[in-house]
Structure 1
Amino acid sequence: MADKCCGPKEELITSEDNKDCCHNNPEKVATKEGDSCCSSQNSFQGIAITTTNSSCCSQSKNKNINDNTTSDCCSQEPKKDLEIKSCCSNKEDNISLETSSCCSNEVKDITNLNATPVKGEKVEYRIHGMDCPSCALTIEKGLTNLIDIQEAKVNYNTAKLQIIGSNALSLDSIESEVQKLGYTAEPLIQNKDLRTYDVIGMDCSSCAKSIENHLNSIATVNTVTVNFSTGKMKVEHENSVDDIVSEVSKLGFNASLINNSNKSSDTPKNKEGYGLITFSGILIALGFIGSYNGVSPLMTTILFAIAIVISGYKPVKSAYYAIKSRSLDMNVLMSAAAIGAALIGEWFEGATVVWLFALGNALQNRSIEQTRKSIRNLMDLAPSEAWIKVGSELVKKPVEEVSVGQIVVIKPGDRIPLDGEVIQGETSVNQAPITGESIPVDKLIGDTVYAGTINESGSIEIKVTKLVEDTTIAKIIHLVEEAQEQKAPTQAFIDKFASIYTPIVFALALVVIVLPPLFGFGTWGEWVYKGLALLVVACPCALVISTPVAIVSAIGNAAKNGVLIKGGTFLEKAGAIDAIAFDKTGTLTEGKPKVSGVEAFTISENELISLALTLEDYSTHPIAKTIVKYAKDKGIQAKNGELFKNIVGKGVQATVNAKVHYAGNLKLFEDLEISLDDVRSKVEEMQSQGKTVVIIGTGQEIMGIISVSDTIRSTTVKALNGLKQVGVKQLVMLTGDNEGTAKMISSQTNVNRYFAELLPEDKVDAIKQLQSEGHKVAMVGDGINDAPALATANLGIAMGGAGTDTAMETADIVLMADNLEKLPHTIKLSRKALAIIKQNIWFSLIVKFIALVLIFPGWLTLWMAVLSDTGAAIIVILNALRLLRVKD
């Protein structure tokens, strides 16, 4: 028999055949077989009891017993289809299980016993078949009609559906509903076996490939992805974490598990210092000097052999596992060269190869870590603990334990631990970690603050609005890490080139070693040496590292300056942009109208504003709110008005001092048949300047006019001039306003051209026109209303990402601050990154080509080959690191 569900004040009473839940002091009513207990308030008053499996109901319920063997009493309007019945609260609507019990009074729909129940948790699906953003809206609306769904969100760009259900969410019903709408839903079940690790010691993408191949050869590992750029490894495995760490260490790398708070539980340090490398170098130097000072060849050989063992142990061990997993990485090539050199008696060459290789790796690792620090530094911005207000006391808690709605106290000078809303106090906050703005922002009650920002002056209390994993800084870190994991087109091409180049040169080295001496062209020792040098040259380390380090550095620099670049692809696109189109309202302008002029005709200016305040105070129109705010800011009081009336599309009216007054547009006063000869020309002139004009008057006269206009952002002109300086040829404004307004704004902002009177779809046509003229076009908007144009442009740039999650999700590049001042820096950084990538690629190829040419005349020694490879790699890394220091 199935147990029933009990509330906190109930205890379990057991009988022979049945278990039921009762309150602490019930008067029990028992049947012959299977007891059931009811509270005293229900006893003996309309309680329905059947002969076998029974339950008791309150007197307020209508009984509905329609089964001779198993029955129950239910709410007044039950919908039941059960073989074994149970009574639920009167909030239940539909039960369609073969065996069921009612636990919560909020259960609304249980449709399938085999469905996966999710109680108040998120479920994600991949949606197939959407071809435009309106499809996403259709699915959302369709699903929110299901009674057991609290919230449904569909992201068109990622094709993901996120469901938050109530107490009994059926996956089958969701998939069925989506299918009815014409799409298919694929559940994205979170895999608990998928873990993320930090890996230390990788110095090029071939190392990452070796780790992947090795772990894929283990039966208990299902999938593995290693990203060299970020030093992250994602593994789906059934064995223990220690086993994975051990397997990675066999290849010569250090791995550690990253916990849920985005911080490594035990961040691995590359503890391999320079001690052994220095000692090995001393042995080589002693052997080299001894060979010219009468020291026996045996002694110098022993010194070189010890040096080979010390510096070569790690690469040889890694090479063994790389070969075992069918990888051909740099460890294999260097080990083969060193061992080969020793076998042909070139002990000094072999020792020098492994020593230079070890030194080069140590320097590369140290340099690469600097690029990865940009993200780790972001993680450390938000404090790990917060002072929570509990009554009159302050309690320090880890941020992971703080829930939404709790009150956090932040003292002057402290970093803000979580996103929240100021509920007490005033201060100024340094938001540079989020938005890149250098000037602190004043925060008053009701304003939003972000985790990781610095409270500079007053003590404040905030109400937490987001959990630690949902804060803006957490999303930035996540987006930046995702961006760094994505390969840019250039990087993808080079990786593919290297995967073909290395085996070809390796095979060519074997041919050089074997064929010439077989046909009598020189000695074996001579050609083996040349073949070994060719093996070293076959390692394309400098080439494959040339792009990812530059991209990681540039994305890290941008994030530090309040700009999110979603990946290397968009970084490259930004560097190629030569035309930028701007939405006018809210982008070039503030998007908030202000009173720009007051002109009184028959009364004083203050009297006119007072009348306007009286008339507009009850209106919800944005223009009316602007006038009301203006009047209140000036300290002007409203008059006594009555009989307020809204005149749709024209204005408002009210009776003031027993006389009807009006505030509205020209059309309103034309209908009143008032002479407008003197006023009309002024109004039309103002309208041609992009202003909205409100006329104040009575049925007999015009008392004055108030003009309202949107103002250009203080940073707009500076930002546009900065874009011209970095080489953007075309600056274009797109607006739905009339020609006069567009012309005035364009002259004030110095844009090259404008498109006026545009509908949203017309903006798309404007973007296409620019592209047809041969321009690479970026579109700058708010990420929501301008979605079609953002999608059509070569690059979509959203503003104000710190305040809108949508902008962070939809755009290719996000300016976290709500202004354009970081846009010139973004374009400059992108172009600098492209230039450095090209420099690195050409430098790597030229060095490799020179080394190949010098092999056959016998001019290239083994140690020179190693130096050309590791030295070139270090140079391209250092060149890429310059991107971390690019400033505005």
Structure 2
Amino acid sequence: MAEKCCSSNIEVKPIENSCCTSTVKSEKSSCCSENKNSGNNSISTLDGENSSGCSSSNSKKESEEETSCCSSKEQAPINTFTNSISSVENVTYRVNGMDCSSCAVTIEKGLSRLKDIIEVKVNFSSGKMQVVASNTNALIPIETEIQKLGYSANPITQNKKLKTYNIEGMDCGSCAKSIENHLNTLPSVKNVSVNFSTGKMKIEHDSSVDDIISEVSKIGYKASLLAKKHSNQSLQKPRKEFNLVIFSGVLIAFGFVGSLINIFPMLSTILYAIAIVMSGYKPAKSAFYAIKSRSLDMNVLMSAAAIGAALIGEWLEGATVVWLFAVGTYLQNKSIERTRDSIRNLMDLAPPEAWVKIGTEIIKKPVEEINVGETIVVKPGEKIPLDGVIILGETSINQAPITGESIPVDKTIDDSVYAGTINEHGSIDIKVTKLVEDTTISKIINLVEEAQEQKAPTEAFVDKFASIYTPIVFILALGIMVLPPLLGFGTWGEWFYKGLELLVVACPCALVISTPVAIVSAIGNAAKNGVLIKGGTFLEKAGTITAIAFDKTGTLTEGKPKVTEIKSVNGSEEELLSIAFTLEEYSTHPIASAIVDYANRNGIKRYNGDSFKNIVGKGVQATIQDEIYYAGNPKLFEMLPISLADIKKHVQELQTKGKSVVIIGTQNKVIGIIAVSDTIRETSASALQNLIQNGVKQTVMLTGDNEGTAKLISSEANVNRYFAELLPEDKVDAIKKLQNEGHKVAMVGDGINDAPALATADLGIAMGGAGTDTAMETADIVLMADNLEKLPHTMKLSKKALRIIKQNIWFSIFIKVVALVLIFPGYLTLWMAVLSDTGAALIVILNSIRLLKFKE
């Protein structure tokens, strides 16, 4: 384990136990002597018999005052970094998309040029990158820069100062920006990121949690620390806020009625003023802090419009503006909560407690207190609380929460089970294999949350557009208020009113919401159906795919050979299987295992055999009832003094169909033939047919098998095209060939063996993620089930999401254009402008959350 060496920021990796206890005067063995006279803290690595480092060269008394670290006899070389400050940030990232070691070099060179980055080390084999920076801010652009280089990265080391908060009350992305800007003005805050879609804030700060909550409340929002044990509790929206909205609406109604009957006109104005204060207090407070932090969010624009309306005597307009804004905001928040619930529902899947077997007793314990290796008991109908392996009992497990599979899976001793799945029938004892934070469901939740926080290209573009659009229209509104009346075109009141309308229209809320809510909804839907989409970028890519390449073995096929044909030549079929069972029982070859499994399933009894012998590359032999029997390929029997003329034609026919042939016989006769082959998955043909029906132009199979086998499998699997006799590196060339033909290509494989092809494709899809951590980490999209059943749903969902995003964007722009056009002829009123903004935002949200209910 690396230790910090005295006061310097150097990691020492000792070979033997070491500590900073002794004082050594020798220059050779010195470590970590401090230079008190010089501001230069540069460090050099000295390679000597006794590894020494960090000795200062500018002090005359260094040889007498050096402090020794690591007093053991033998030391490892010291890892040193040049820096000019006392604090160093060391963060490890998981890098996706690398397909060779040169990619690692590219990343190292690209990131080393960034300001305040001390060292970058990328390990291609493990897919990890270590970055050492002189300050935290230097790490902020890391992920963006890696994306520019064509890769993606996520930090995997915990920052103890980085905390996550739930934020309530945000109406759109500009609210998130206002919170960021305000908190960035605090000296104790190092960096902050607020995500409107997920309602979460990640912040690194030195102050207390209460201080952060207090600062957020000043801006008009509510923050609460996200704690693990409470993370599965849904947030309760305060009822008080809604009651105020209703009451202020009643006041406006009374004021309007009073103005119509013209009794005590001043009373109507007072009622409007009270309604403005009640509904407008929160946005006005938020607007104050937004202006203070130099933000132009919707609260600023709406508050300015309401105050301006009151100043020119349009009290009803002002009251209506803030009331409609409050109603729209409330409805938006209620709607957006539905998208956030998609993750909270996942969190509720695994029970918080489990029955633990301790000796003869069974005790209920919180899952956080259960360790790996302990035994838990799950009764019929209960949810499984932790990942593990069945050690007693057998049952059927409903794995739909993890894999999306609708049919329960039979499980027995030594089978793996996952937290959050449902035990349908028998009581089972499970040996825990993962802690609560490491379970498959926990990883799914973390990956989905990270995916929802990443901005898709469309979302990034819209945000940039909005950041330019809003200030331009704001300045234009101020110009319209002042310039026309100064130049003699109309009255001050007339143009001031038009300027207020333009302020409201300047709010791009619907446009900003158009993309992230759709993406969050789609990713949440996919997660419920057993598909992990790693971010909006990959969701958008999936919607543009025109060709999908599939690895054959284990993807289109089961990956496990099965007996497909039995032909008896001399004797009965049962006798043939009994002899084959006896011969193959002790072999570990996959073909032998297939024959043994078939015999066991069909209740075949084996004979007593001895003198078992493996014939390398050809088969096996054993003595049964004093006679030597053989099981092997045709090459083995060609060596024996018997004729294969009677079966040769049949053997060739089976081989042409891509089947492996096992001949059973003695030195004198052939007893029979058993054909074994890898079979197509039941779901493969229908899944590929659905893909073609939903707009995928090419389905392609990549295999190392011969032409004949490839042709047969491709016809069974409904594949348009195949590439046969491929080495692993040839699969990359096949992907590039498809890309050169103009296709956007997705590659489906197991996430490990097909890594180069997955990285080369426009979209990498891994299958069987429920049992493979590597697949969950490396691919862009992960099918949790070990079949292709959910792939068509994923492609349809992504296409639907793209359509909805486009609908939202064009609708938002259309509403803005119409509102802008109607301002100058005088057809647009202030309350209509507010309704067009909040109404459009609400319609966009409702349109987006349709993706939560989207089904196959």
Please give the TM-score of this superposition, normalised by the length of structure 1.
Answer: 0.81
CA distance in 1, matches of 2:705, 2:353: 50
Alignment partner of 1:125 out of 92, 110, 114:
92
- CA shift, 1:595, in A, is 0.8
Alignment partner of 1:661 out of 596, 607, 629:
629
The 5 A counterparts of 1:482-521 are 482-521=450-489
> Using a 3 Å threshold, how does the CA distance of structure 1 residues 599 and 264 change in structure 2: closer, same or farther?
closer
Q: Which is worse superposed, 619-628 or 858-867?
A: 619-628
- Residues 255, 268 of structure 1: 8 Å contact kept: no
- Residues 261, 469 of structure 1: 8 Å contact kept: no
- Residues 790, 811 of structure 1: 8 Å contact kept: yes
CA distance in 2, matches of 1:343, 1:762: 74
1:552 maps to 2:552: no
Where 2:631 maps in the other structure, the secondary structure is strand
CA distance in 2, matches of 1:378, 1:303: 47
* Residue type at the aligned position of 2:369: E
Aligned to 2:128: 159
Alignment partner of 2:699 out of 715, 718, 731:
731
- CA shift, 1:470, in A, is 0.2
Alignment partner of 2:269 out of 279, 290, 301:
301
- CA shift, 1:101, in A, is 9.1
1:445 maps to 2:413: yes
- CA shift, 1:841, in A, is 0.6
- CA shift, 1:412, in A, is 1.4
- CA shift, 1:659, in A, is 3.1
Where 2:543 maps in the other structure, the secondary structure is helix
Aligned to 1:566: 534
The 5 A counterparts of 1:480-879 are 480-672=448-640, 674-879=642-847
Aligned to 1:465: 433
* Residue type at the aligned position of 1:457: H
CA distance in 1, matches of 2:212, 2:480: 39
- Residues 485, 492 of structure 2: 8 Å contact kept: yes
Aligned to 1:243: 211
* Residue type at the aligned position of 1:203: D
The 5 A counterparts of 1:102-181 are 111=76, 125-126=92-93, 132-133=99-100, 159-160=128-129
CA distance in 2, matches of 1:483, 1:99: 44
CA distance in 2, matches of 1:341, 1:834: 40
Q: Which is worse superposed, 781-790 or 602-611?
A: 602-611
Aligned to 2:87: none
Aligned to 2:7: none
- Residues 563, 816 of structure 1: 8 Å contact kept: yes
Map Cα deviations across residues 25-64 of structure 1 (whole Å, 9 max, x no partner).
xxxxxxxxxxxxxxxxxxxxxxxxxxxxxxxxxxxxxxxx
Aligned positions, number: 750
Where 1:198 maps in the other structure, the secondary structure is strand
1:408 maps to 2:376: yes
CA distance in 2, matches of 1:582, 1:129: 20
Map Cα deviations across residues 754-803 of structure 1 (whole Å, 9 max, x no partner).
11111111111111121122211111111111111111111111111111
- CA shift, 1:272, in A, is 4.2
* Residue type at the aligned position of 1:125: T
* Residue type at the aligned position of 1:159: K
Map Cα deviations across residues 568-605 of structure 1 (whole Å, 9 max, x no partner).
11111111112111111111111111111111212322
Map Cα deviations across residues 378-401 of structure 1 (whole Å, 9 max, x no partner).
111111111111111111111111
Where 2:798 maps in the other structure, the secondary structure is helix
* Residue type at the aligned position of 1:592: K
CA distance in 1, matches of 2:199, 2:74: 46
- Residues 256, 265 of structure 1: 8 Å contact kept: no
CA distance in 1, matches of 2:722, 2:613: 39
Q: Which has the higher contact order (CA 8 A, sep 6+)?
A: 2
The 5 A counterparts of 1:145-544 are 159-160=128-129, 190-261=158-229, 263=231, 267=235, 269-544=237-512
CA distance in 2, matches of 1:124, 1:236: 14
Structure 1: gaps spanning 5 or more residues: 1-79, 84-96, 103-107, 117-122, 139-151, 163-184
- Report the RMSD for the aligned CA atoms in angstroms: 2.8
> Using a 3 Å threshold, how does the CA distance of structure 1 residues 499 and 272 change in structure 2: closer, same or farther?
farther
- CA shift, 1:260, in A, is 3.6
- Residues 155, 161 of structure 1: 8 Å contact kept: no
- Residues 257, 265 of structure 1: 8 Å contact kept: no
CA distance in 1, matches of 2:711, 2:97: 39
- CA shift, 1:703, in A, is 2.3
CA distance in 2, matches of 1:114, 1:269: 52
> Using a 3 Å threshold, how does the CA distance of structure 1 residues 625 and 127 change in structure 2: closer, same or farther?
closer
CA distance in 2, matches of 1:456, 1:759: 44
- CA shift, 1:669, in A, is 2.0
Where 1:576 maps in the other structure, the secondary structure is coil
* Residue type at the aligned position of 2:221: F
- Residues 430, 456 of structure 1: 8 Å contact kept: yes
- CA shift, 1:124, in A, is 6.5
- Residues 256, 268 of structure 1: 8 Å contact kept: no
- Residues 201, 270 of structure 1: 8 Å contact kept: no
CA distance in 2, matches of 1:433, 1:645: 48
- Residues 616, 628 of structure 1: 8 Å contact kept: yes
> Using a 3 Å threshold, how does the CA distance of structure 1 residues 82 and 124 change in structure 2: closer, same or farther?
closer
- Residues 82, 99 of structure 1: 8 Å contact kept: no
* Residue type at the aligned position of 1:523: T
CA distance in 1, matches of 2:581, 2:255: 95
> Using a 3 Å threshold, how does the CA distance of structure 1 residues 375 and 326 change in structure 2: closer, same or farther?
same
Where 2:775 maps in the other structure, the secondary structure is helix
- CA shift, 1:635, in A, is 2.6
* Residue type at the aligned position of 1:461: D
- CA shift, 1:114, in A, is 11
Map Cα deviations across residues 485-531 of structure 1 (whole Å, 9 max, x no partner).
01111111000000000000001001101100010001100000000
CA distance in 1, matches of 2:626, 2:852: 71
- Residues 694, 706 of structure 1: 8 Å contact kept: yes
CA distance in 2, matches of 1:766, 1:189: 37
Alignment partner of 2:848 out of 877, 880, 888:
880
Map Cα deviations across residues 252-293 of structure 1 (whole Å, 9 max, x no partner).
111100124471789463444421111111111111221121
- CA shift, 1:161, in A, is 6.6
- Residues 258, 264 of structure 1: 8 Å contact kept: no
- CA shift, 1:417, in A, is 0.8
Q: Which is worse superposed, 363-372 or 570-579?
A: 570-579
* Residue type at the aligned position of 1:420: G
Map Cα deviations across residues 857-882 of structure 1 (whole Å, 9 max, x no partner).
11111000000000000001001111
Map Cα deviations across residues 647-681 of structure 1 (whole Å, 9 max, x no partner).
22111222333333222112222233543223222
CA distance in 2, matches of 1:129, 1:717: 31
- Residues 220, 239 of structure 1: 8 Å contact kept: yes
CA distance in 2, matches of 1:109, 1:469: 39
> Using a 3 Å threshold, how does the CA distance of structure 1 residues 787 and 283 change in structure 2: closer, same or farther?
same
- Residues 198, 268 of structure 1: 8 Å contact kept: no
CA distance in 2, matches of 1:137, 1:297: 76
Aligned-residue identity in percent:
71
> Using a 3 Å threshold, how does the CA distance of structure 1 residues 619 and 534 change in structure 2: closer, same or farther?
same
Please give the TM-score of this superposition, normalised by the length of structure 2.
Answer: 0.84
Where 2:842 maps in the other structure, the secondary structure is helix
Whichever of the two has the greater Rg, that structure is 1
